[in-house]
Chain A
């Protein structure tokens, strides 16, 4: 197996993601956990960019890094007081978490090693935006118009719910 630039970049990204994921769940301060989560999302976006799927990478940055994480940080700033630290985990909870993690790892490894992947059909070059747009709004096979509309209804419900909660009586 020869070492190429692609492989090195992937290894660096993967190490970055793994290290930050472990830090995100082991740190005691909630804002630090949110920051490490942000780094994990950056790493994932990096992998999308490496695959030349810049649309998904940009969306990952826009929605998760720029949207969801900002929302998390905002709500942490509004709710928790300074010097807030997570209490120490109880032994039972710790072991339950560990077993769940190991089981998930086992299932993932089993599926990945057992599954017969198709041959590489990786095409160089970016996917045209027009194609993504048509697929997103088409009603044919492999069209995504139904999930798209369902998500917009969900978001509308969220907005109305937010207004109902925040409204002054």
Chain B
């Protein structure tokens, strides 16, 4: 398995040999930041193209076909269209907060995105409290959405933001509980360590029953957390026009749109990391030849394959089920998912204490 840390160490030694330490670290931070944003944009473009194609497939359509082979350049054209659009300003609104809100959402999304380990040695933020930091970073986005709804000076936006905020705060609980279930199994919160512990089998197999329940809860709650699928009520077109981003245009709307898609990828990436082993290949204890063959496939391919598989699952859910009402959404969370999640946590503790896991 190729260790990407060799490359980063080489760059670091090369830089420190020609300049002082502080400057080298500053330059490295700058480079990593640029790479992170580039990767963010590329993932967003891939996700939007995938959404249109998958949606079309589930509705027995073809999706974009005209621009480029299989319509693959369509999204890039859309990006340029979005960039050249006028950004409107709203009268009698708080302009500072109105312009700030999309960047808050993007900030939260980029910070959460930086936590995901992509390959061995290729993790940007790798604290030993990584999971706590990930949850902290993703909870900041709610502030951006509430500010957007308030500063638009429109009733549709305000109601949309309130609904969206209530939904995200509620479902954050279930996401946290299902991640905690896996933390109980691993006894670590560091993402790179969590991946390393899955070298002899992914957690969804090692933790059997409680891990599978946690996985299902995580998928439902994660889908609701990013305001998608049957839970995309904050932007229910028929009642609230477009929810909290009704009044936004041009690239400001684009930022919300991009953040929504990348958040979907982040949720899937975290699910892939903590349940399906992240970049760790499929290893079956005892089958040494099989494991050696699997190691030939590079880590980032494993990671992206798993992440996009879960993205595909969530898109399938989105385009299959009808939308829920707001009270049904909150009932589902508080009366069903949270109690099941708490019981499941207890079950996992019992499994770990009596060593019933593999």
Q: How far is the CA of A149 from the CA of B162 in the complex (A)?
A: 33
> Can you name the residue of chain A whose Cβ is closest to the Cβ of B190?
A129
Q: How far is the CA of A66 from the CA of B97 in the complex (A)?
A: 17
Interface of A is mostly: helix
Chain B residues, Cβ within 8 Å of A4: 22
Contact present for B140 and A129 (CB under 8 Å):
no
Chain A residues, Cβ within 8 Å of B135: 62
Contact present for B92 and A129 (CB under 8 Å):
no
- Given A29-B94, A70-B165, A77-B150 in contact, is the A65-B127 Cβ separation under 8 Å? no
Chain A residues, Cβ within 8 Å of B147: 31, 35, 73
Judge whether A83 is part of the interface by a CB distance below 8 angstroms: yes
Q: How far is the CA of A67 from the CA of B142 in the complex (A)?
A: 10
Min C-beta distance of A1 to chain B, whole Å:
14
Min C-beta distance of B99 to chain A, whole Å:
12
Contact present for A61 and B137 (CB under 8 Å):
yes
Chain A residues, Cβ within 8 Å of B87: none
Taking CB atoms and an 8 Å cut-off, the chain B residues in 171-222 that contact chain A are 188-189
Min C-beta distance of A98 to chain B, whole Å:
26
> Can you name the residue of chain A whose Cβ is closest to the Cβ of B133?
A58
Chain B residues, Cβ within 8 Å of A126: 127-129
Chain A residues, Cβ within 8 Å of B23: 5
Contact present for A70 and B150 (CB under 8 Å):
no
Min C-beta distance of A61 to chain B, whole Å:
4
Contact present for A74 and B128 (CB under 8 Å):
no
Question: Contact check: which of B94, B132, B149, B158 meets A55 at CB < 8 Å?
Answer: B132
Q: How far is the CA of A3 from the CA of B84 in the complex (A)?
A: 43
Judge whether A82 is part of the interface by a CB distance below 8 angstroms: yes
Contact present for A31 and B97 (CB under 8 Å):
yes
Interface string of A81-123 (1 = CB under 8 A from B): 0110000000000000000000000000000000000000000
Judge whether A128 is part of the interface by a CB distance below 8 angstroms: yes
Judge whether A38 is part of the interface by a CB distance below 8 angstroms: yes
Question: Contact check: which of A58, A73, A129 meets B136 at CB < 8 Å?
Answer: A58
> Can you name the residue of chain A whose Cβ is closest to the Cβ of B96?
A32
- Given A66-B142, A128-B128 in contact, is the A61-B133 Cβ separation under 8 Å? yes
Question: Contact check: which of B143, B169, B188 meets A129 at CB < 8 Å?
Answer: B188
Chain B residues, Cβ within 8 Å of A128: 128
Min C-beta distance of B354 to chain A, whole Å:
21
Judge whether A59 is part of the interface by a CB distance below 8 angstroms: yes
Q: How far is the CA of A128 from the CA of B129 in the complex (A)?
A: 9
Min C-beta distance of B331 to chain A, whole Å:
16
Judge whether B139 is part of the interface by a CB distance below 8 angstroms: yes
Question: Contact check: which of B100, B129, B136 meets A66 at CB < 8 Å?
Answer: B136
Contact present for B165 and A35 (CB under 8 Å):
no
Interface string of A1-37 (1 = CB under 8 A from B): 0001110100000000000000000000101100100
Taking CB atoms and an 8 Å cut-off, the chain A residues in 35-49 that contact chain B are 35, 38
| Chain B contact residues, CB within 8 Å of chain A | 21-23, 25-26, 92, 94, 96-97, 100, 127-129, 132-133, 135-137, 139-140, 142-143, 146-147, 149-151, 153, 158, 161-162, 165, 169, 188-189
